[in-house]
Structures are given as structure tokens and as C-alpha cells.
Structure 1
Amino acid sequence: MEEKTPVLLEKLYRLYRQRVNPVGKTYMFVDEIQHIRGWEQWIETYRESGEVKFIVTGSSSKLSSKELGTLLTGRHIDLTLLPFSFPDFVRSKGIEVSSLSIELKSDLIKNLLFSYLDSGGFPEILFNSPKENGTKILEAYFDDIIYRDIVERWNIRDALLTKRIALYALKNSGNLLSYRKIQKALEQTSGKTSTSTISENMSHLSEAYILFEVELHTNSVKKALINPRKVYSVDTGLRKAVVKPLTDDYGRDGENIVFLELLRRGYKVTFWKTDKTEVDFVASGRTGDLVINVTMSNLDDPALRERELRGLLEFEGDRSRRILLNSDIEDTLKIHDKTIELIPLWKWLLIEDFLPRR
């Protein structure tokens, strides 16, 4: 078998030029680029000539986005591909995503939202697998990420501890978590560990895109670093498959998919909290902040409604757009010279006017 070096890339490229497109600029797609030793020097040669534009993909088990940035400093744009979004999910069912279409089919759309919260957005689960096999496939994805992309890649000795950290973090999705809290919880069943070990493993889990850590919204770098963070899963279906919650918590799941959608739209996402109130997400963009709370509970409950609105009202910021995402109410409230938009989650996810790209 021919060794996978830039010589192989050069042969393929020359063959393409000779047989298909001898002149002019071309585009070259290379998947699993990490298997070609020294690929970055070869790509740089053609990049400087302007002859070729490259789109390369690679596995995080061999090449992290940070390392890719080091190899191609100032010469690349990173694109993170997440599992299918809810609009992707709806389109996969043959439904047009437009304001008129979703209004006419609102009951069906609401039903699909709960299906999406349960199954998540991995294409294999949505298109190819019988429903009963979905959990097994998602469990296999989880194990592959833990053992191949993290344990094998970083030569971690205690693979079981890494897996337990991941499970504990995913179980507490949307909750405030500190490394000290994770340490204390795991030491009850896994023996002695340290916050530095927890921190290192959480970093690996984030880099492998199994979870995301969200920092406190503050102007102080120190406060952001030392305060507990929130954790969200890359996919609600994956989380349910491995955590196996005893009851459905669609409020938690809804919060998770809102976070992922904000990432897809290019926002920098933090959360805001005081001793008395909090905001689930502060999504920072060029024209101001989106300040968002998410609930799937009944807003007819006065105590719940007051709690969800309080954080949005107390958050400071003149350019902030304040939004309460909920199961089905659409309204606009004027309270103490502040405007709060109540938007159904299913509609917010589907209509881009509600969530412009950053």
C-alpha cells in the first residue's frame, strides 16, 4: 500500500488537472486529512499560488481544531458542524420552513419539536435507524468519543473516570457546575481525584465536542474563570441515551437546543446570575445582546411567570433584546420601560426574523 504522504496528494491533483480541468482555479476537498503526514506544507504551497482553494475535514481523535489553527495560522476559517438543527429536522420530514407554512401546520410542528428533543439531530438516527436501535447507536457514538477521541488520543490512564465525568456533566446539563462539585460527587464512588484532573478531562470533553461549557456574563476575566459554569450537550438525544433520565425534562432539553442554535448563528453565549435571579443566555452580537430565558412550563402560574420575567427585567443593558421562550405563548410585554418578547420555542427556532445571524 502506498504511504499516505503529500506525494499521494500531488499525484491525485496532477491526475485531476490532466484528465478533468487543466487550467483555472479549482476547489479540492480532502476528508480525514490527518492521515496524510505533512499535508499542511503541501496545501500551503498551492494556497500561496492562488491556484487551489482547499476544504479539509479531520477527525478530532487525531487532529484538534486548536492544532489545525497552529498548522494554518491566519490562513484558514474553522467551521464546526453540529448535529441537525430543528429546522433541518423539519425539512427532513418534507415540510417547508416558512412563516405561512409553519403557522398552517403548527400542531404538527409542535409534535415534531418534542420528537426532536427526544431523538436529537444525528442523521443516522433520523434517517436510517429503526427507533429501537437509536439508543444503541447513540451509546456507541458516546463510547467512540470517550475512548477514541479522548482516552486514546491523550493517553489517559483512567478511562472509566473520564467517562464518569462526562456522564455526571451531561446529567447536570443546564445546572451550575464547578470542578470542585464534580470532584466531590465522583469521589463518593470513584475514589480520590483532584480538581486539576477534572479540569483536564472537561477540557478534553469540550474539545471533542461532546459537551460545551458556558461562562458567567461579566466584564471580569477572573470572575468568569473562577465562577461555576453551565454545561450543555452537543445533542439532546445523545444525552438521553447515555444519562437515561427517569422522567422527561423538556425544559432542560429546550434550553439545550436554544444554546446550540445560538452557536449555529454565530453568537458568543454566556449566562447571567445574581443572588436572587438569573438569565439562561446572554448572546452577544454586533448590534447588542439577546437576553433569553427558556421555559416549557405553564406560564399561567404567577410565581413561575414572575421568576422567568424578573431576570430579564433586572439585566442591565440598553441595547438588549429581552426574550422569554416558552411552549406556546406569543405576546409583547411592556414592564418598567422595558420590552419583553414572549415567543413560542418552535416558532423562534424556525423563523429567522426572530433569531438573526450574528
Structure 2
Amino acid sequence: MEIRRDRYLKKLIRKRNNGLIKVITGIRRCGKSYLLFSLYYDYLINDGVPEDCIISVPLDDDDYVEYCDPQKLNEYIKSRMTDSKKHYYVFIDEAQYAITTKEMKDPDVPIRLYGVLNGLLRKKNVDVYVTGSNSKFLSSDIMTEFRGRGDEIHIAPLSFSEYFPVSGKDKYDAWQDYLFYGGLPHILAEPDNESKEVYLDRLNSEIYMRDIVERYDIRDVDALDSLMRVIASAIGSLSNPLRISDTFKSNGYKSISIPTISNYLKYLTESFIIQKAERYDIKGRKYIGTPLKYYYTDLGLRNALLNFRQFEETHLMENAIYNELIYRGYKVDVGVVDLRVNESGKRIHKQLEVDFVVNQGSKRYYIQSAYALPNQEKIEQEQASLIKIPDSFKKIIITGGNTPVWRNDYGITIMGLFDFMLNEDSLDY
């Protein structure tokens, strides 16, 4: 089964030979290697690049473990570049394996891999691509070390528009599977539901948990596991370390300090397992800070953490909409509308929430996620915050199912979930 990742493939093609190191980031098993080593490799071959000019080094493969030493990696790549008149493409997969824990944790320790990559950039006949499953490998460190020569392409698990055409099911059944088992590409190859659940359980315990524990030298593994479950239970809810600490106490979990919770949250976001949406004061045009919302990058991993027992479609739909917006390249915040209202003869302060404030360049959209709009009362409830926003940017309510797109008397667009998820231009309808 071939899954086309055309959005990402086109980005790589546009960035080809641009003089920068292309850094492909994303959660483990989301398809980074497939994008680079299969789709992009095939594109280069079909475009006339000789096979011996593509140097592939998958550092998570036992056959290449010796090249996790940056010096040996450098020697190997140079040994393959035998003709100065040829143009070479270097693919390094899971590059964080060439960075030691000490290098990762201590900002005063130089990361030797960066020197290798910078050395390759100085050669005019080399185009370099690396993948990584941890944003600490990219973030401020890599941009500093590459001196503005790093170019990130972040990829996610399959969007529903990528998942549905190869699922072999109608869109309703495909959607239920997508919410339950997520969009990691290998899920589509598993033969039955039991196999899917086993696969996701194994990824959580053997890949993601182990990666974080080893990378950050975590001693209290049970505490990290408990935190992941708390966040998984609270997707779409406002959270901060203090609230999470209180949740631990009220649910009988072992007590974890607030600084430790903050560090664990940082590790989970750096590993792309969760993503955070900050709160934005729409009228005041400023960020509020904590609390904020956390969403899981893949819903299947989230559900597996909870033993597939908490299937609240309202929250899962909100998480899926957030992931879709990120996939399309938008910046996404949680909106807050501050109001002064009269209640029982008193002037009180009130805050209304907008699920998503969505930005891209000069474009902005305000979006509410509503699983169902069964009556006018529910419509009024969902649109209350949107009506109070004092600007003319587009306001949208996305509701479950296949509701036709329409616009009400307040100028608010109401569209069905499938119209939104399956059409990348849906926000501009």
C-alpha cells in the first residue's frame, strides 16, 4: 500500500538544493523515513539522479550503529563522495542518535553532529537532509549552530484526507476508526482491531516512553506514565502544572512536584507526543499565559494510554480539528473574549472561550468545534463567543457529520466535519 504524502513531498521538492539543511521533524513512526527514503528517493531517481549519488544513513538501524559516532559518520559520508564533479544527496535518518544525552541536556557541551552537518554544507556539490524525532535537536540549538542554515519541515501522522482514501471504508466508518486508532501509517497495515491495539500499546511502552526516559535520564518512570495518562484524560481542557498536581492528589496518584511536572510536559512536547495551544485575549490582543490546552499528536496513542476506555467523541473531534489545522500549516491558539455583563443587577466580568484562533499570514479564522447542533439553543450557545468578537475575520462552527455549508444571520459559517476535514480550502468557502 502506498500512501501519498504530497503536501510534504512538494515541500521537499521546493527546497531541493536551496543551500540549507532540510530538517524533517515529527513523532516517531509518523512517516518521516518513508517520506525521505521512499517518496523523495523515488522522485530523485525518476528525475535522473544516479543511485550512487544518494547516500542514506539510517541511524536507528543496527547495521549503521557505528555511525552514531559523528566522526565515523563524517568519514563514511566522505568515503562515498568519490567524484567532485557529481552532485550528492545525503539522507541521515533519526539524527538524534548521533547526539549524546550529555550533549542534549547540557547547553555548554558542543554537539559534534552539528559540526559534521556544517562541514557538509560547505561543499557545493552536496544537498543534506536529516530527520529527527525530538524538537530539542532542532529548536534554538540547531538554528544557532547552523547559523541560519537549517530549514525545518515538520510532518504529522496521517491527516484524515490522507487516511480515508486508503482505508477501504466509507467516510463514516473510516472516521470512527481514525478517532479510535489514530493516523500512524502502519495502523492501516494491521489486519484487525486487536492487532492495532497491540501495536499502539507497544509503541507507547517500547518506543515513546523508552525514548523519553533514556534521553532525559528519568528515574521516576511511573510518575511520567501517570502524567501522560492525566493529560490524555484531559485533552481540550485548560491545564497547567498546578492543576495537574491537584489532579494527582485528588485521584490518589503519587505526589509529583510542580517543577517536575513542568519538565515532563516540556519533554512530551519536545518529543512531539503532545502539542500545546496557548490562550489568546482576542479583544486585548495579547497572550494570557497559563492555563493552556494540550492535544495529542496522534489519537490512537492517546486512546491506547487509556486502554481504549475513554472514547468521548466531542473531545476527540476537537483534538482532530486542532491536528488538521496544524497539518495545514496554521498557527493555532485558544481564544478568550473578555466581557462585562449585567447579571442580577450587578456588573460582572465574564470570559467566553473560542476553541481555536487560527492564523496564517494575514488570514485569521475563529473556529468552534461542536459535535452536534440539535436545536437553536445549542447554536446560540456555540456562537455566543463568536458574536462578541469585534472584528471582521471569518467565524466558523464545525459540527459533526455531513451538514451542508451554510451561513446564518450573524454571518457565521456552519459546516460539517467531512467538508472541513476532506477539503483543504474549506475555511475559505
Q: Secondary structure at the match of 2:235?
A: coil
Distance 1:204 1:62, change over 3 A: closer
Corresponding residue number in structure 2 for 1:255:
318
1:287 aligns with 2:287: no
Quick one: which of 280, 288, 295 aligns to 1:224? 288
Asked if structure 2 preserves the Cα contact closer than 8 Å seen for 1:349 and 1:355, the reply is: no
Structure 2 unaligned regions, length at least 5: 1-64, 100-111, 338-349
Quick one: which of 110, 114, 118 aligns to 2:172? 110
Asked if structure 1 preserves the Cα contact closer than 8 Å seen for 2:232 and 2:302, the reply is: yes
Of 126-135 and 47-56, the range deviating more from structure 2: 126-135
Asked if structure 1 preserves the Cα contact closer than 8 Å seen for 2:368 and 2:382, the reply is: yes
Provide the C-alpha distance between the structure 1 equivalents of 2:255 and 2:76, rounded to a whole number of angstroms.
54
Asked if structure 2 preserves the Cα contact closer than 8 Å seen for 1:212 and 1:233, the reply is: yes
Of 280-289 and 128-137, the range deviating more from structure 2: 128-137
1:346 aligns with 2:411: no
1:268 aligns with 2:343: no
Provide the C-alpha distance between the structure 2 equivalents of 1:222 and 1:323, rounded to a whole number of angstroms.
22
Corresponding residue number in structure 1 for 2:189:
127
Distance 1:31 1:160, change over 3 A: same
Q: Render the CA deviation track for 1:170-221: whole Å, top value 9, x for unaligned.
A: 1100111122111011124234333222111111111111111111013779
Distance 1:129 1:16, change over 3 A: farther
Provide the C-alpha distance between the structure 2 equivalents of 1:183 and 1:5, rounded to a whole number of angstroms.
41
Distance 1:2 1:169, change over 3 A: closer
Distance 1:11 1:245, change over 3 A: closer
Deviation at 1:39, TM superposition (A): 3.0
Paired AA for residue 23 in structure 1: K
Asked if structure 2 preserves the Cα contact closer than 8 Å seen for 1:146 and 1:162, the reply is: no
Quick one: which of 151, 159, 162 aligns to 2:221? 159
Quick one: which of 396, 399, 419 aligns to 1:323? 396
TM-score normalised over the length of structure 2: 0.71
Distance 1:59 1:158, change over 3 A: same
1:199 aligns with 2:262: yes
Deviation at 1:129, TM superposition (A): 4.7
* % identity of equivalent residues: 26
Asked if structure 2 preserves the Cα contact closer than 8 Å seen for 1:34 and 1:59, the reply is: yes
Paired AA for residue 279 in structure 1: V
Distance 1:59 1:223, change over 3 A: closer
Quick one: which of 243, 247, 270 aligns to 2:306? 243
Distance 1:313 1:40, change over 3 A: same
Of 320-329 and 60-69, the range deviating more from structure 2: 60-69
Deviation at 1:36, TM superposition (A): 4.0
Provide the C-alpha distance between the structure 2 equivalents of 1:86 and 1:222, rounded to a whole number of angstroms.
32
Q: Render the CA deviation track for 1:224-273: whole Å, top value 9, x for unaligned.
A: 22x31111111111111112464532221111111111111111110113
Deviation at 1:294, TM superposition (A): 1.0
Match runs of 1:1-358 below 5 Å = 4-18=69-83, 23-36=85-98, 38-60=112-134, 63=137, 65-93=139-167, 108-144=170-206, 147-188=209-250, 189-218=252-281, 224-225=288-289, 227-244=290-307, 246=309, 248-274=311-337, 275-297=350-372, 299-318=373-392, 320-327=393-400, 328-336=402-410, 339-355=411-427
Deviation at 1:61, TM superposition (A): 9.9
Provide the C-alpha distance between the structure 1 equivalents of 2:336 and 2:167, rounded to a whole number of angstroms.
39
Corresponding residue number in structure 1 for 2:29:
none
Structure 1 unaligned regions, length at least 5: 96-107
The structure richer in strand per residue is: 2
Paired AA for residue 147 in structure 1: M
Asked if structure 2 preserves the Cα contact closer than 8 Å seen for 1:170 and 1:233, the reply is: yes
Corresponding residue number in structure 1 for 2:46:
none
Asked if structure 2 preserves the Cα contact closer than 8 Å seen for 1:293 and 1:325, the reply is: yes
Q: Compute the RMSD of aligned alpha carbons.
A: 2.7
Deviation at 1:130, TM superposition (A): 3.0
Q: Render the CA deviation track for 1:275-295: whole Å, top value 9, x for unaligned.
A: 353211001111221111112
Provide the C-alpha distance between the structure 1 equivalents of 2:256 and 2:310, rounded to a whole number of angstroms.
31
Deviation at 1:122, TM superposition (A): 0.9
Deviation at 1:223, TM superposition (A): 5.2
Asked if structure 1 preserves the Cα contact closer than 8 Å seen for 2:135 and 2:272, the reply is: no
Q: Secondary structure at the match of 1:224?
A: strand
Deviation at 1:2, TM superposition (A): 5.6
Q: Render the CA deviation track for 1:80-120: whole Å, top value 9, x for unaligned.
A: 2211110110232369xxxxxxxxxxxx2233222211111
Asked if structure 1 preserves the Cα contact closer than 8 Å seen for 2:330 and 2:358, the reply is: yes
Of 320-329 and 32-41, the range deviating more from structure 2: 32-41
Deviation at 1:77, TM superposition (A): 1.3
Q: Render the CA deviation track for 1:1-54: whole Å, top value 9, x for unaligned.
A: 966334444444443544xxx624332111132344633222212312332111
Provide the C-alpha distance between the structure 2 equivalents of 1:61 and 1:321, rounded to a whole number of angstroms.
32
Paired AA for residue 153 in structure 1: R
Provide the C-alpha distance between the structure 1 equivalents of 2:336 and 2:307, rounded to a whole number of angstroms.
29
Provide the C-alpha distance between the structure 1 equivalents of 2:195 and 2:85, rounded to a whole number of angstroms.
49
Q: Secondary structure at the match of 2:229?
A: helix
Of 7-16 and 301-310, the range deviating more from structure 2: 7-16
